[in-house]
Chain A
Amino acid sequence: MSNTDRSAIRQPGLTELLPPLTEHEALVEANRCLYCYDAPCTHACPTHIDIPRFIKKIATGNLPGSARTILEANLLGATCARVCPVQELCEGACVLGAEHKPIMIGRLQRYAMDYAYSRNVPMFHAAAKTGMKIAVIGAGPAGLSCAGELAKLGHSATLFEKRPLGGGLSTYGIIVLREPVDIALAEVEMICRFGVELKTGVEIGRDVSFSALRSNYDAIFLSVGLGATPALGIPGEEYCIDGLEYIEQSKIDRDKLQVGRQVIVIGAGNTAIDCATIAKRMGAERVTMVYRRTEQEMTAYPHEYEFIKKEGVEFRFLTQPVKIVADAGNVAGLECVRTELGSVDLSGRPSPRLVPGSEFVIPADQIVKAIGQEKPSLAASLGIETQRGFIKVDDDYQTSMPGVYAGGDCIRSAGAASTVMAVEDGKLAAGAIHRRLTAAAVPAGVL
């Protein structure tokens, strides 16, 4: 995407939140890094990027080396630099965190990535062809990572993506404040440049059958992500906007994005916070997040919660939506019931109990729901074993169907799903597929 195209989809209010570090800022920060040995930041990073090494290279002025260090461990280094919850990962483990400010690892990583992408520094070349073919279904972070790592090993990886653009949630689902579309697309392009084939607009089961893939490819990797936002199951649900579509419009189709004056976001996860941010920044006068538990139980990262409070978004905790109130076909408000927290439920959190007679209506002209995503539907249709609705895999990321592997959000039955975990899944699965196909040791650095 050219610079002109990029500016066309950028508007005040919805642009990348953090500016890039200047050369001076990057050098001062890089020199502040202690260069720990066997560093805890590297351990905390799900892809185990050698962080002190890439930071030291920024300090010495070796930016191509710095970028390569990052990409060797994580092909989606540019996305992860922006979207990783660094407070919970690398920066949260920085030894300077206890008494000082941790090193700005994410922003330094972005500095090195920006250098590499702005100069098109070639980082990897495909190895000699092995003749093996792998189909990767879904061109999100897990799929891109897996396909890219396989290409580095000389295998022919083909990405099948049902949407018009690659990148998955990086392209469609990460709010622009954290990652502009062109960053995600540049990453897809980079991975395709070293030999991965990307077929967009191709849906398995609609445009190509799964059995055809199984007979034409030596292995399959499922990185299909999750589905749409599940139903609330309340009257008037048809007036409710899907949070993921809301974010997608804000990124890809800004003209279609309609933002109300009084917006309610149902849910209190990171996606809900993104939706509230969009509403607030695109002109809503009042944005209220409605959640049936309390701030103790909300799944949003603490730093995201702090951020959204500063954006001026209001919270209604212990509030259960029961009905969308419409007036002449327009949203007029959200009827809610107060809740109390009871015993711990299957999710490990106290379950909310409705307080009888506590109904009240919050006025609103737009209601967005962001209460998680549907489990992957593909698994069931293929007869692959699942675990709590997610695709079940073994230690090698292989599903119950031999030769069919899976990774990313679609297997994340426990713990918080994140881009960087998906990247690591793709990388580890690529190693396992490679071992299976070649019965050879994986070169150092791949795992």
Chain B
Amino acid sequence: MADLSINFAGIRSPNPFWLASAPPSNSGAQVHRAFEAGWGGAVWKTIGAPVLNVSNRYGAWHYGNQKMLAINNVELISDRPLDLNLAEIRDVKRHWPDRAVIASAMVESTPEAWGDIVRRIEDTGADGIELNYGCPHGMSERGMGSAVGQVPEYCEQITRWVKSAASIPVIVKLTPNITSIVYPARAAVAAQADALSLINTINSIVGVDLDTFDITPNIGGKGGHGGYAGPAVKPIALNMLAALGVDEVVSRAGLPISGMGGMSTWKDAAEFLLLGATSLQVCTAVMHYGFRIVEDLCDGLSNWMDAHGFAAIADFRGKSLPRISDFKDFDLSFRAVARIDPAKCIRCDLCYVACNDTAHQCIDLIAADGSRVEPHTYDVRSNGKNDAIHTRPQPRVREEDCVGCRLCYNVCPVEHCIEMVELPPCQPSVTWDQLSKSQREVTESWDAMERYREEHGIHIH
């Protein structure tokens, strides 16, 4: 069994899985139960300024049979009294000394307000403070949350106030509702934050009611943007996490990063770790299935680490970051084609229609006698399962015309039926960057490009 424990800017926890600051960590009773289930830590639901909440605060995006591919919310920070929250944080930490207990905070943007909340949090014995610069609704209208996270100067200023008051680690939580995640992260680095966390939720409107024309969810006839989270946002979170990992300023500072955003399974967790996260925060998956999911998060991650010979998280943390590259540095000679395994193929022909209508028209339908046939050409009087099954043609990739776009691979509903096969390059290894330096005209003129293609036998139909 691999060692899942982590040390995050001095905050220790037996595994990397923390409840994100959100409804699951709203009260001491909930966090006690989460810790009983095995969670390594919890970032308390944000405490600070007084608020009132509304009903119908969660919307959701369902797709096909998948419920809650994403959730959207207009819930504010904790609406429970500040003193009650502080007392419960103290109680939880006293009961669970080995777990990470972090208080998330958000107050009015003054040094006094921040200094006061920092002192009160430190009094509880909490292991760290997370600064909520991410909440995109409600609080932002009052100059807090993402209103801070979207302005690097504000991030830096407030972080400095907090750092001057705090003795425990300070984590700056970043909003994704910004053109580049790098600038607020650099601001946090400049203010000597101890760690970063990302991503908070994304601005979203989840839908419109087609009978009443209300915004979904309908809040007394009104609705608006809310924070978007859940499985659908994971790729966005991974990209932002990697962006920090490869940023010179942020990566040189070496701040640990707590990764979050749509993480639902141990596989998601391993991906966040491979892209440089040290601790992991989960919310939507817990809101969907409860605290119990931490068991497989730990078990699956541990088994995967064992299979790869990783004894500890540090053995593979950030291991995939060096693979992150810009397009200009991709090897343009890399070549792969799709290959369909007829033994696994169920002949749904989704690859065929995807390729034929929207990609490169390089999948053929091959009849039993080896001839190429068109779809929809069976005799109208032919029927019955035997006719349908036995005369159904087999899709086959015309590899000489396949550009290896990978669309068919993605739409295929059968595991391992279509594989992308790497082929030897047909042209010299070169990147766009190299090309633009060595043969600039090729990158600027279509005529030069045509000549270059002719020279290297690059034919695109």
**Interface residues, chain A, with chain B CB atoms under 8 Å away:** 27-28, 31-32, 34-41, 43-46, 48, 59, 87-90, 92-93, 95-96, 98-99, 421, 424, 428, 447
Complex CA gap A424/B378 in Å reads 16
Complex CA gap A257/B442 in Å reads 89
Jot down 6 A-B pairs with beta carbons below 8 A, ordered by A: A31-B64, A34-B348, A37-B350, A39-B348, A93-B389, A95-B346
Query: Which residues of B from 352 to 371 have beta carbons under 8 Å from A?
Result: 352-353
Residues of A within 8 A of B352 (CB): 37
Residues of A within 8 A of B64 (CB): 31, 59
Residues of B within 8 A of A99 (CB): 346
**Interface residues, chain B, with chain A CB atoms under 8 Å away:** 64-65, 346-350, 352-353, 375-376, 378, 380-385, 387-389, 391-392, 413
Residues of A within 8 A of B391 (CB): 43
Secondary structure call for the B interface: loop
Given A43-B388, A44-B388, A59-B64 in contact, is the A96-B346 Cβ separation under 8 Å? Answer: yes
Q: Which among B353, B385, B413 is the interface contact of A44 at CB below 8 angstroms?
A: B385
Q: Which among B353, B380, B384, B392 is the interface contact of A89 at CB below 8 angstroms?
A: B384
Q: Which among B65, B382, B385 is the interface contact of A32 at CB below 8 angstroms?
A: B65
Residues of B within 8 A of A90 (CB): 385
Which chain B residue lies CB-closest to A32? Answer: B65
Q: Which among B346, B350, B378, B413 is the interface contact of A43 at CB below 8 angstroms?
A: B378
Complex CA gap A87/B388 in Å reads 13
Given A28-B65, A31-B65 in contact, is the A41-B388 Cβ separation under 8 Å? Answer: yes
- B375 and A37 within 8 A (CB): yes
Which 10 residue pairs across A and B have the least CB separation, nearest first?
Answer: A92-B385, A44-B388, A38-B375, A93-B388, A37-B353, A37-B349, A43-B388, A95-B346, A46-B383, A40-B388
- B347 and A95 within 8 A (CB): yes
Which chain A residue lies CB-closest to B383? Answer: A46
Residues of A within 8 A of B384 (CB): 44, 46, 88-89, 92
Given A31-B65, A43-B378 in contact, is the A95-B385 Cβ separation under 8 Å? Answer: no
Given A28-B65, A31-B65, A32-B65 in contact, is the A37-B348 Cβ separation under 8 Å? Answer: yes
Residues of B within 8 A of A32 (CB): 65
Residues of A within 8 A of B65 (CB): 27-28, 31-32
- A34 and B385 within 8 A (CB): no
Q: How many A-B residue pairs have CB under 8 A?
A: 73
- B383 and A44 within 8 A (CB): yes
Residues of B within 8 A of A37 (CB): 348-350, 352-353, 375
- B383 and A43 within 8 A (CB): yes
Given A43-B378, A48-B380, A59-B64 in contact, is the A35-B385 Cβ separation under 8 Å? Answer: no
- A93 and B349 within 8 A (CB): no
Q: Which among A28, A36, A92, A428 is the interface contact of B348 at CB below 8 angstroms?
A: A36
Residues of B within 8 A of A447 (CB): 380
Complex CA gap A34/B345 in Å reads 13
Residues of A within 8 A of B381 (CB): 428
Given A28-B65, A43-B392, A92-B385 in contact, is the A38-B350 Cβ separation under 8 Å? Answer: no
Residues of B within 8 A of A43 (CB): 378, 382-383, 387-388, 391-392
Most chain A Cβ neighbours within 10 Å, of B375, B387, B388: B388
Distance in Å from the Cβ of B373 to the closest Cβ of chain A? 10
Residues of B within 8 A of A92 (CB): 384-385, 389
Which chain A residue lies CB-closest to B357? Answer: A37
Complex CA gap A112/B201 in Å reads 39
Distance in Å from the Cβ of B345 to the closest Cβ of chain A? 9
Residues of B within 8 A of A38 (CB): 349, 375-376
Complex CA gap A443/B387 in Å reads 27
- A89 and B383 within 8 A (CB): yes
Residues of B within 8 A of A421 (CB): 383
Which chain A residue lies CB-closest to B210? Answer: A61
Q: Which among B378, B387, B392, B413 is the interface contact of A34 at CB below 8 angstroms?
A: B413
Complex CA gap A38/B357 in Å reads 13
Complex CA gap A40/B383 in Å reads 9
Which chain B residue lies CB-closest to A421? Answer: B383
Complex CA gap A231/B324 in Å reads 83
Residues of B within 8 A of A36 (CB): 347-350
Distance in Å from the Cβ of A176 to the closest Cβ of chain B? 27
Which chain A residue lies CB-closest to B413? Answer: A34
Residues of B within 8 A of A424 (CB): 383
Distance in Å from the Cβ of B191 to the closest Cβ of chain A? 49
Residues of A within 8 A of B385 (CB): 40, 44, 87-90, 92-93
- A44 and B387 within 8 A (CB): yes
Residues of B within 8 A of A95 (CB): 346-348
Which chain B residue lies CB-closest to A425? Answer: B381
Complex CA gap A99/B391 in Å reads 20
Distance in Å from the Cβ of B408 to the closest Cβ of chain A? 12
Complex CA gap A32/B348 in Å reads 13
Most chain A Cβ neighbours within 10 Å, of B64, B350, B353, B384: B384
- A98 and B346 within 8 A (CB): yes
Residues of B within 8 A of A41 (CB): 388
Q: Apart from A31-B64, A40-B347, what are 8 other A-B pairs with CB-CB below 8 Å?
A: A39-B349, A40-B385, A43-B382, A87-B385, A88-B384, A88-B385, A424-B383, A428-B381
Residues of A within 8 A of B375 (CB): 37-38
